[in-house]
Amino acid sequence: MSAGEVTVVGAGIVGVSSAAWLQRAGFEVTLVDAGPVGEGASFGNAGNISPGAVVPYTIPGFLREVPGWLLDAEGPLAVRPGYLLKVLPWILAAVKSSQTETALKTSRAMRELHRGTFDAYDALTRNTEAAALIERCGQLYVSERPHTAQGSQIAQFMREAAGVKTIILGEREIREAEPALAPIFKSGMLLPEHGRCKNPHQLVQIIAREAGRNGATILRGKVTGFRTNADRVLGILLDGEVRPVERVVIAAGAASGQLSAHLGTPLPVEAERGYHITIADAGVMPRIPVSHCDAKFVCAPMNMGLRLAGTVEFAGIDAPPNWKRAELLKEQARRMFPGVRMEKVTQWAGNRPSLPDGLPVLGAAPGFANAFFAFGNSHFGMTAGPVMGKVIAEIVAGRKPAIDITPFSATRFRGA
């Protein structure tokens, strides 16, 4: 017997995972997206699957690096002129969350959310071609500076406290591990329990397709608001028409803050823009994903080519891309991979959905008995996505979630 209907807004990794897990919990699912499935941030990320990602971006000491990054026009962090004042409160909230106690709590919450990622992907992709897209191959972090790849002392402490395995590599060992890399790296760290997705877009499409095969209705349309009564969402406004819903899950990535505000819960969801270039027939390929710790991007071996993806730009969700930032990735590709062929390069920009503390919002929407939030997974959405889907399905079904969701509460920014 059906447990009832749920409409999921957003068909990125979080939305399609939510749809698949909700079906397993017995719900009939409608999946709605303003665009084609999987063409938000989930399209062009670096595909790192990182169960041991326990180091928040804002940790004690990160502020020391920020001025240098901002002053370097080619640096890993940029704020679009004219956007600084708008994003300033978010940045200040991020700085506040970098205080030691808060950062340690964030780290523990990240471990809870990320540790089950491979198991969740196994369950979602079993008996589909998507299973072959996930590989537990390890990840390599490298730095052009000595003793830097492993991060600061607190970053090391966070990994140790979480029991994350790391192997420190010197110059010679980096070259042995990744012969395609130029000999410019002085320190390295291998994370053997991490892995990758070989094609994030395809992965999302397959999970959505399977949900469709299992009876989900997949609709194209933009949700612009909600019809509500005192404590229930009665319908979504889809391209101007009211479509009745029994329950609704908001999983609309960087646009989720706009939708949560319509439900009376404004949340500081910022679009942390990143860029990628993907080089087909590059002629060189790392064996496993390689993160450049200084320049903050990942070189990912993908099934369609070599992808360099990362960096952060604050420009606002609707600002057009600044393709100069993708050009910088081309220069990096030439520096890092001698002999790389750059004839077939595509470029892309996407918005990470980010809250100032780096954690997502996951749970019931305040004030509504039948609305739920699952968004804001920032730099780690490909890792957190399948777990968030599982947790939100447990919450919608009224079961106790397998992880403690207190750190992901939608009310944690009230009064901040």
Among 33, 112, 270, 357, binds ligand FAD (CB under 6 A): 33
* Contact call for residue 51 and ligand FAD (CB under 6 A): no
Minimum gap (Å) between residue 69 Cβ and ligand FAD: 16
Tell whether residue 52 is a contact of ligand FAD (CB under 6 A): no
Q: How far is the CB of 297 from ligand FAD (least distance, A)?
A: 8
Residue 80: both structure tokens together? 């679009």
32 binds ligand FAD (CB under 6 A): yes
Distance CA 261, CA 371 (A): 13
Nearer Cβ to ligand FAD (177/204) = 204
167-169/297-302 β-pairing: unpaired
Residues 83 and 172: their CA atoms lie apart, in Å, by 44
Taking phi over 0 as left and psi of -120 to 50 as alpha, with beta for the rest, 124 belongs to: alpha
Sign of CA dihedral 122, 127, 131, 136: positive
Please check whether residue 87 is in contact with residue 273, taking contact to mean a CB–CB distance below 8 angstroms: no
CA distance 83 to 240: 30
**Residue 209 to residues 20, 31, 204, 368: CA-CA distances in angstroms?**
10, 11, 9, 30
375 binds ligand FAD (CB under 6 A): yes
Cβ distance to ligand FAD smaller for residue 382 or 410? 382
Among 21-29, 179-187, 379-387, 393-401, which window interacts with ligand FAD (CB under 6 A)? 379-387
Instruction: Check residue 381 for interaction with ligand FAD (CB under 6 A).
Output: yes
377 binds ligand FAD (CB under 6 A): yes
Q: Name the residue nearer to ligand FAD (CB basis): 154 or 269.
A: 269
Decide whether 169 or 255 has the Cβ nearer to ligand FAD.
Answer: 255
Closer CB to ligand FAD, 274 or 407, in the complex: 274
- Only one of the segments 95-103, 185-193, 346-354, 399-407 lies at the binding site for ligand FAD (rule: CB under 6 A); that segment is 346-354
3-class DSSP string for 250-308: ECCHHHHHHHHHHCCCCCCCEEEEEEEEEEECCCCCCCCCEEECCCCEEEEEECCEEEE
Which lies closer to ligand FAD via its Cβ, residue 226 or residue 398? 226
41 binds ligand FAD (CB under 6 A): yes
3-state secondary structure 23-58: HHCCCEEEEEECCCCCCCHHHHCCCEECCCCCCCCC
Query: What's the token pair of residue 254?
Result: 């960087």
Query: Which residue number, 244 or 338, has a Cβ lying nearer to ligand FAD?
Result: 244
Query: Binding of ligand FAD at residue 274 (CB under 6 A)?
Result: yes
Specify the residue, 251 or 282, whose C-beta has the smaller distance to ligand FAD.
Answer: 251
Taking the complex as a whole, the smallest distance from the CB of residue 256 to ligand FAD amounts, in Å, to 7
Q: Given the rule CB under 6 A, which of 96-104, 148-156, 252-260, 319-327 is the region that contacts ligand FAD?
A: 252-260
Instruction: Report the SS3 class of residue 156.
Output: helix
When asked if residue 177 is in the footprint of ligand FAD (CB under 6 A), the reply is no
Rounded CA-CA distance 77/57 in Å is 12
What would the DSSP string read from start to end of 68-81? HHHH-TTSSEEE-T
Taking the complex as a whole, the smallest distance from the CB of residue 170 to ligand FAD amounts, in Å, to: 25
Between residue 201 and residue 240, which ones bind ligand FAD under the rule CB under 6 A? 222-223
Judged by beta carbon, residue 78 or residue 251, the one nearer ligand FAD is: 251
Query: Minimal distance in Å, beta carbon 146 to ligand FAD?
Result: 26
Distances, alpha carbon 168 to alpha carbons 157, 159, 284, 389, in Å = 14, 13, 24, 34
Q: Are 120 and 386 in contact (CB under 8 A)?
A: yes
Q: Does 35 bind ligand FAD (CB under 6 A)?
A: yes
Q: How far apart are CA 291 and CA 156, in angstroms?
A: 16
Burial class for 101, CB neighbours closer than 10 Å (0-12, 13-18, 19+): exposed
Whichever of 159 and 379 has its CB closer to ligand FAD, that residue is 379
- Residue 116 sits in the site that holds ligand FAD (CB under 6 A): no
SS3 call for 319: coil
**Interaction with ligand FAD in 311-340: which residues (CB under 6 A)?**
none
Instruction: Select from 109, 383, 391, 407 the one that contacts ligand FAD (CB under 6 A).
Output: 383
Determine the residue with CB nearest ligand FAD: 381
* Residue numbers at the binding site for ligand FAD (CB under 6 A): 9-15, 32-35, 39-42, 45-48, 222-223, 251-255, 259, 274, 276, 298, 309-310, 350, 352-353, 375, 377-383, 385
